[in-house]
Amino acid sequence: MCAHRRRRGSYSLRTRVAAATALGATVIAAVVSWLSVQALERNNLAQADQELTIAARIVLIQPVIAVGVLSLVGPNHDLAVTVRDDSTVVSSTSVHLPELRPGSQTISLDGVPFRVLTTTDNQPRGRTVSIGIPLTQAYHATSEQRRWVLAAALLTIAATAGLGWVFGGRAVRPIVHLTEQVGSYGATGQPEEPVNGSGVREAEQLADALNGLLERVTRAQAATAAALETARDFSAVSAHELRTPLTAMRTDLEVLRTLDLDEAQRAEILDDLQRSQGRVEATLAALERLAAGELTNDSDLVETDLADLVDQAAHDAMRHYPALTVRIDADPELIIHGLPTGLRLAVDNALTNSVRHGGATEALVSAHRIADGAIVLSIDDNGRGIPPLERDAVFQRFVRGRDASKGGSGLGLALVAQQAQLHGGRACFDDGTLGGVRLVLTLPER
């Protein structure tokens, strides 16, 4: 027993929209947060540099005196000043700043970050003054600001996901409505209206595709139902038609088995058996040809020279029925896209019916292309003809005219009508030009 393939977990389109929105918000929030933190750090450093610049305006007037004043005040951890002459420290606060190149730099002293401004402005030759302030408070402010940025980013993502869920539901509503329509399609057993996906372009395109698919499914169901009904009718009528000769054969066999017959009686019964067997065989052969025609499709059609085909059919008919004369009136090189076997079968059956059931001795087979491109194929004979009231009915299966000879299956003209239909045309009877009846097949251009 084959194991069913497990279905992977799926999520609703609304959930996917909300997740996609949240993911997009996460990416944007991450980028904006990173840029914001960088901007805050630069801003805090800029503030520290601004404080150093203000302090430098005072210290640089007399840096040595300024260091002395700061030392008299007491230990000062908020401002550090170191004065060097030719790299030699001449004055410094309790916090000694290392020798640095001119400019602003961030350093760490005993684990404490400092922002240091080193300058030689307005100083004697060889003197450098380094002024530093601790960045602990700035870093603390930066950390606090980072937390606020992170909280804002998380709140933004949550809000975006929630809004994505709310508005995503409205966005996918046409898809949900379309799914409900397709799910209930055909449930009432009544003709259904086309599904409607108006509101969203993708839903409209999906609705158009689904309507096309459902239309094809409906046509296929109708064709299947019609084929099934035809098959049931075909089987019932075939069984009825075959029951008569089979019953006669069974009766003859019982007579042969139970009665003591002379040679003449036995020969008569055997002849009757042979006729019944021939009728059953002819009926089964015709049924087989009808079934083969039902299975024919457009891919079986090929280029066929109809003029050559009717010429061969006429010669074969005259060979099988020496008393029959067949004349041909056809356009040269009359090419048709059709079934050569089926067209030959139609012509053969028409000529056979003319002889067997109409008693014809003369027939005219005509094939011409008319103005609209269609081909008209006709068979005239000088036989007894068919009464006008029976001319439509005899194309049905197992229907025989009242003047038809015994022994026929009633399927010959049904085969002719089937072939005309397979070629997109129709078959009908008309008054003949030779005194009998005229069978006309109209085959449109394909």
| Secondary structure element (H or E) that encloses residue 108, with its range | strand 103-109
Q: Say what the pLDDT of residue 3 is.
A: 46
Q: Say what the pLDDT of residue 289 is.
A: 58
CB 376 within 8 A of CB 440: yes
pTM: 0.44
CB 337 within 8 A of CB 305: no
Q: Say what the pLDDT of residue 40 is.
A: 84
Burial of 409 (0-12, 13-18, 19+ CB in 10 A): buried
Positions of the chain with pLDDT under 50:
1-4, 6
Q: Say what the pLDDT of residue 406 is.
A: 55
Q: Say what the pLDDT of residue 327 is.
A: 93
| Angular region, 424: left φ>0, alpha ψ -120 to 50, beta rest | left
* CA separation for the pair 70, 97 (Å, rounded): 15
Annotate 153-173 with DSSP letters as a single string.
Answer: HHHHHHHHHHHHHHHHHHHTH
Q: Say what the pLDDT of residue 268 is.
A: 84
User: pLDDT for 185-238, tens place per residue?
Assistant: 666 555 566 666 666 676 677 777 877 887 888 788 877 776 677 666 666 656
Q: Say what the pLDDT of residue 291 is.
A: 61
Could you tell me the domains of the chain? 13-167 (3.30.450), 195-295 (1.10.287.130), 298-443 (3.30.565.10)
Q: Say what the pLDDT of residue 50 is.
A: 84
* CA separation for the pair 264, 270 (Å, rounded): 10
